[in-house]
Amino acid sequence: MSDEALRVVVVDDQRLVRSGFAMMLGAEDDIVVVGEAANGAEGVDVVRRERPDVVLMDVQMPVLDGIAATGTIVQEDLAKVIILTTFDRDDYLFDALQNGASGFLLKNTDPDDLADAVRAVGHGHALLAPEVTRRVIAAMTAEASGGAGVATPGGTTAPSRDDARLAPLTARELEVLSLVGRGLSNAEIARELFVGEATVKTHVSSCLSKLHLRDRVQAVVLAYETGLVVRGAPD
Protein backbone atom coordinates (compact mmCIF):
# COMPACT_ATOMS: atom_id res chain seq x y z
CA MET A 1 0.00 0.00 0.00
CA SER A 2 1.28 3.47 -0.87
CA ASP A 3 2.44 5.77 1.94
CA GLU A 4 0.24 8.40 0.32
CA ALA A 5 -2.89 6.26 0.19
CA LEU A 6 -6.14 8.16 0.54
CA ARG A 7 -7.61 7.78 4.03
CA VAL A 8 -11.35 7.12 4.15
CA VAL A 9 -14.02 6.97 6.87
CA VAL A 10 -17.33 5.20 6.14
CA VAL A 11 -20.45 6.45 7.96
CA ASP A 12 -23.63 4.37 7.62
CA ASP A 13 -26.13 3.01 10.13
CA GLN A 14 -26.25 -0.39 8.39
CA ARG A 15 -23.32 -2.55 9.45
CA LEU A 16 -23.36 -4.69 6.31
CA VAL A 17 -23.26 -1.60 4.12
CA ARG A 18 -20.32 -0.17 6.04
CA SER A 19 -18.46 -3.47 5.83
CA GLY A 20 -19.20 -3.79 2.14
CA PHE A 21 -17.86 -0.36 1.30
CA ALA A 22 -14.82 -0.90 3.50
CA MET A 23 -14.11 -4.21 1.78
CA MET A 24 -14.48 -2.75 -1.71
CA LEU A 25 -12.23 0.20 -0.99
CA GLY A 26 -9.76 -1.85 1.01
CA ALA A 27 -9.02 -3.86 -2.12
CA GLU A 28 -7.51 -0.75 -3.73
CA ASP A 29 -3.76 -0.18 -3.39
CA ASP A 30 -4.13 3.58 -3.01
CA ILE A 31 -7.07 3.71 -0.58
CA VAL A 32 -7.25 2.72 3.10
CA VAL A 33 -10.34 2.76 5.33
CA VAL A 34 -9.25 4.19 8.69
CA GLY A 35 -12.59 4.26 10.48
CA GLU A 36 -16.30 3.47 10.48
CA ALA A 37 -19.30 4.98 12.25
CA ALA A 38 -22.98 4.09 12.66
CA ASN A 39 -24.45 7.60 12.80
CA GLY A 40 -23.58 11.19 12.01
CA ALA A 41 -22.53 12.19 15.52
CA GLU A 42 -20.22 9.18 15.83
CA GLY A 43 -18.98 9.91 12.33
CA VAL A 44 -17.96 13.46 13.24
CA ASP A 45 -16.05 12.12 16.26
CA VAL A 46 -14.23 9.51 14.16
CA VAL A 47 -13.36 12.10 11.51
CA ARG A 48 -12.01 14.49 14.12
CA ARG A 49 -9.83 11.71 15.50
CA GLU A 50 -8.63 10.13 12.26
CA ARG A 51 -8.52 13.20 9.97
CA PRO A 52 -9.25 11.24 6.76
CA ASP A 53 -9.08 12.65 3.26
CA VAL A 54 -12.58 11.53 2.32
CA VAL A 55 -15.77 10.58 4.18
CA LEU A 56 -18.46 8.36 2.64
CA MET A 57 -21.62 9.62 4.32
CA ASP A 58 -25.08 8.06 4.45
CA VAL A 59 -28.06 10.44 4.70
CA GLN A 60 -30.74 8.88 6.90
CA MET A 61 -29.18 7.91 10.23
CA PRO A 62 -30.13 8.12 13.92
CA VAL A 63 -28.74 10.67 16.39
CA LEU A 64 -27.44 12.98 13.65
CA ASP A 65 -28.25 12.69 9.95
CA GLY A 66 -25.63 12.75 7.22
CA ILE A 67 -26.52 16.21 5.94
CA ALA A 68 -25.97 17.84 9.33
CA ALA A 69 -22.81 15.80 9.92
CA THR A 70 -21.49 16.90 6.54
CA GLY A 71 -22.04 20.54 7.47
CA THR A 72 -20.02 20.11 10.67
CA ILE A 73 -17.17 18.27 8.95
CA VAL A 74 -16.91 20.86 6.18
CA GLN A 75 -17.20 23.85 8.52
CA GLU A 76 -14.35 22.48 10.62
CA ASP A 77 -12.37 21.71 7.45
CA LEU A 78 -11.84 18.12 8.56
CA ALA A 79 -12.31 16.22 5.28
CA LYS A 80 -14.07 16.07 1.92
CA VAL A 81 -17.47 14.37 1.96
CA ILE A 82 -19.21 12.13 -0.58
CA ILE A 83 -22.89 11.57 0.12
CA LEU A 84 -24.09 8.00 -0.44
CA THR A 85 -27.78 7.15 -0.49
CA THR A 86 -30.25 4.64 -1.87
CA PHE A 87 -32.63 7.48 -2.58
CA ASP A 88 -32.27 9.45 -5.79
CA ARG A 89 -33.99 12.48 -4.30
CA ASP A 90 -33.30 16.08 -5.20
CA ASP A 91 -33.72 17.41 -1.65
CA TYR A 92 -30.91 15.15 -0.42
CA LEU A 93 -28.70 16.23 -3.29
CA PHE A 94 -29.22 19.96 -2.85
CA ASP A 95 -29.07 19.91 0.95
CA ALA A 96 -25.84 17.91 0.79
CA LEU A 97 -24.20 20.28 -1.67
CA GLN A 98 -25.35 23.34 0.25
CA ASN A 99 -23.76 21.84 3.35
CA GLY A 100 -20.47 21.47 1.53
CA ALA A 101 -20.45 17.92 0.14
CA SER A 102 -17.99 17.42 -2.69
CA GLY A 103 -19.86 14.54 -4.31
CA PHE A 104 -23.09 12.58 -4.43
CA LEU A 105 -23.45 8.90 -5.34
CA LEU A 106 -26.17 6.28 -5.15
CA LYS A 107 -25.36 3.15 -3.17
CA ASN A 108 -25.75 0.97 -6.26
CA THR A 109 -22.69 2.62 -7.80
CA ASP A 110 -20.22 0.10 -9.25
CA PRO A 111 -17.18 -0.63 -7.03
CA ASP A 112 -14.79 0.79 -9.63
CA ASP A 113 -16.82 3.99 -9.87
CA LEU A 114 -16.88 4.27 -6.08
CA ALA A 115 -13.10 3.99 -5.90
CA ASP A 116 -12.71 6.52 -8.72
CA ALA A 117 -15.06 8.88 -6.88
CA VAL A 118 -12.95 8.64 -3.72
CA ARG A 119 -9.83 9.36 -5.75
CA ALA A 120 -11.41 12.32 -7.52
CA VAL A 121 -12.69 13.95 -4.36
CA GLY A 122 -9.59 13.05 -2.38
CA HIS A 123 -7.44 14.87 -4.93
CA GLY A 124 -9.56 17.99 -4.75
CA HIS A 125 -12.11 17.54 -7.52
CA ALA A 126 -15.86 17.81 -7.19
CA LEU A 127 -17.87 14.79 -8.23
CA LEU A 128 -20.86 16.13 -10.13
CA ALA A 129 -21.92 14.49 -13.37
CA PRO A 130 -23.48 16.70 -16.07
CA GLU A 131 -26.94 15.23 -15.52
CA VAL A 132 -26.66 16.03 -11.82
CA THR A 133 -25.39 19.50 -12.66
CA ARG A 134 -28.60 20.24 -14.50
CA ARG A 135 -30.63 19.30 -11.43
CA VAL A 136 -28.45 21.45 -9.18
CA ILE A 137 -28.93 24.38 -11.53
CA ALA A 138 -32.69 23.98 -11.69
CA ALA A 139 -33.15 23.95 -7.91
CA MET A 140 -30.36 26.12 -6.53
CA THR A 141 -30.74 28.95 -9.03
CA ALA A 142 -34.52 29.00 -9.36
CA GLU A 143 -34.47 32.50 -7.92
CA ALA A 144 -31.75 33.65 -10.28
CA SER A 145 -33.42 33.57 -13.67
CA GLY A 146 -32.52 36.30 -16.13
CA GLY A 147 -28.93 37.18 -15.35
CA ALA A 148 -26.20 39.49 -16.50
CA GLY A 149 -25.17 37.71 -19.67
CA VAL A 150 -26.62 37.24 -23.13
CA ALA A 151 -27.20 33.65 -24.20
CA THR A 152 -25.27 32.32 -27.15
CA PRO A 153 -26.22 29.29 -29.28
CA GLY A 154 -23.73 27.14 -27.37
CA GLY A 155 -25.53 27.71 -24.11
CA THR A 156 -22.87 30.02 -22.67
CA THR A 157 -23.21 33.76 -22.43
CA ALA A 158 -21.20 36.63 -23.72
CA PRO A 159 -18.68 37.48 -20.98
CA SER A 160 -20.18 40.00 -18.59
CA ARG A 161 -18.85 41.86 -15.56
CA ASP A 162 -22.21 43.28 -14.49
CA ASP A 163 -21.97 41.19 -11.34
CA ALA A 164 -19.12 42.44 -9.13
CA ARG A 165 -18.25 38.89 -8.10
CA LEU A 166 -16.87 38.25 -11.60
CA ALA A 167 -14.66 41.33 -11.69
CA PRO A 168 -11.40 39.51 -10.81
CA LEU A 169 -11.63 37.23 -13.87
CA THR A 170 -10.04 37.75 -17.26
CA ALA A 171 -12.13 37.39 -20.42
CA ARG A 172 -10.75 33.89 -20.98
CA GLU A 173 -11.47 32.87 -17.38
CA LEU A 174 -15.05 34.09 -17.78
CA GLU A 175 -15.36 31.91 -20.84
CA VAL A 176 -13.97 28.90 -18.99
CA LEU A 177 -16.27 29.52 -16.02
CA SER A 178 -19.29 29.62 -18.31
CA LEU A 179 -18.35 26.22 -19.74
CA VAL A 180 -17.80 24.81 -16.25
CA GLY A 181 -21.29 26.11 -15.50
CA ARG A 182 -22.66 23.95 -18.32
CA GLY A 183 -21.14 20.90 -16.63
CA LEU A 184 -18.30 20.36 -19.13
CA SER A 185 -15.18 18.49 -18.07
CA ASN A 186 -11.70 19.93 -18.58
CA ALA A 187 -11.25 17.75 -21.68
CA GLU A 188 -14.55 18.96 -23.15
CA ILE A 189 -13.67 22.59 -22.43
CA ALA A 190 -10.29 22.10 -24.11
CA ARG A 191 -11.98 20.83 -27.26
CA GLU A 192 -14.50 23.68 -27.17
CA LEU A 193 -11.80 26.35 -26.87
CA PHE A 194 -9.14 24.60 -28.99
CA VAL A 195 -6.56 24.69 -26.20
CA GLY A 196 -4.70 22.07 -24.18
CA GLU A 197 -6.31 20.36 -21.20
CA ALA A 198 -3.47 21.57 -18.96
CA THR A 199 -4.29 25.14 -19.95
CA VAL A 200 -7.94 24.60 -19.03
CA LYS A 201 -6.93 23.15 -15.67
CA THR A 202 -4.85 26.26 -14.99
CA HIS A 203 -7.76 28.55 -15.88
CA VAL A 204 -10.20 26.58 -13.72
CA SER A 205 -7.83 26.69 -10.75
CA SER A 206 -7.38 30.41 -11.24
CA CYS A 207 -11.15 30.94 -11.32
CA LEU A 208 -11.66 28.99 -8.10
CA SER A 209 -8.83 30.87 -6.38
CA LYS A 210 -9.87 34.35 -7.49
CA LEU A 211 -13.53 33.77 -6.64
CA HIS A 212 -12.78 31.97 -3.35
CA LEU A 213 -14.74 28.91 -4.43
CA ARG A 214 -14.23 25.49 -2.87
CA ASP A 215 -14.78 23.41 -6.01
CA ARG A 216 -16.54 23.09 -9.36
CA VAL A 217 -19.92 22.64 -7.67
CA GLN A 218 -19.76 26.14 -6.27
CA ALA A 219 -18.48 27.38 -9.63
CA VAL A 220 -21.55 25.94 -11.39
CA VAL A 221 -23.91 27.68 -9.00
CA LEU A 222 -22.05 31.00 -9.25
CA ALA A 223 -22.07 30.87 -13.05
CA TYR A 224 -25.87 30.71 -12.98
CA GLU A 225 -26.38 33.12 -10.09
CA THR A 226 -24.40 35.79 -11.91
CA GLY A 227 -26.08 35.17 -15.25
CA LEU A 228 -22.84 34.07 -16.88
CA VAL A 229 -24.84 31.06 -18.02
CA VAL A 230 -28.58 31.41 -18.62
CA ARG A 231 -30.79 28.74 -17.11
CA GLY A 232 -32.68 26.91 -19.84
CA ALA A 233 -30.18 27.75 -22.59
CA PRO A 234 -29.48 24.80 -24.92
CA ASP A 235 -26.53 22.53 -24.20
Q: Where are the domains of the chain?
A: 6-127, 135-225
Give this prediction's pTM: 0.68
Per-residue pLDDT of the chain in tens (235 residues, 90 and over written 9): 555 899 999 999 999 999 999 999 989 999 999 999 999 999 999 999 999 999 999 999 999 999 999 999 999 999 999 988 776 666 677 788 778 888 888 788 888 888 988 998 888 776 665 556 566 666 655 544 444 443 333 444 444 556 888 999 999 999 999 888 877 778 889 999 999 999 999 999 999 999 998 777 778 878 877 878 765 444 4
Name residue 62's beta-bridge partners.
none
The CATH number of 135-225 is: 1.10.10.10
- Between CA 172 and CA 177, with CA 173 as vertex, the angle to 5 degrees is 120
Q: How many C-beta atoms surround the C-beta of residue 108 within 10 A?
A: 7
Fold type of domain 6-127: Rossmann fold (3.40.50)
Phi-psi region of 125 (alpha: psi -120 to 50; beta: other; left: phi over 0): beta
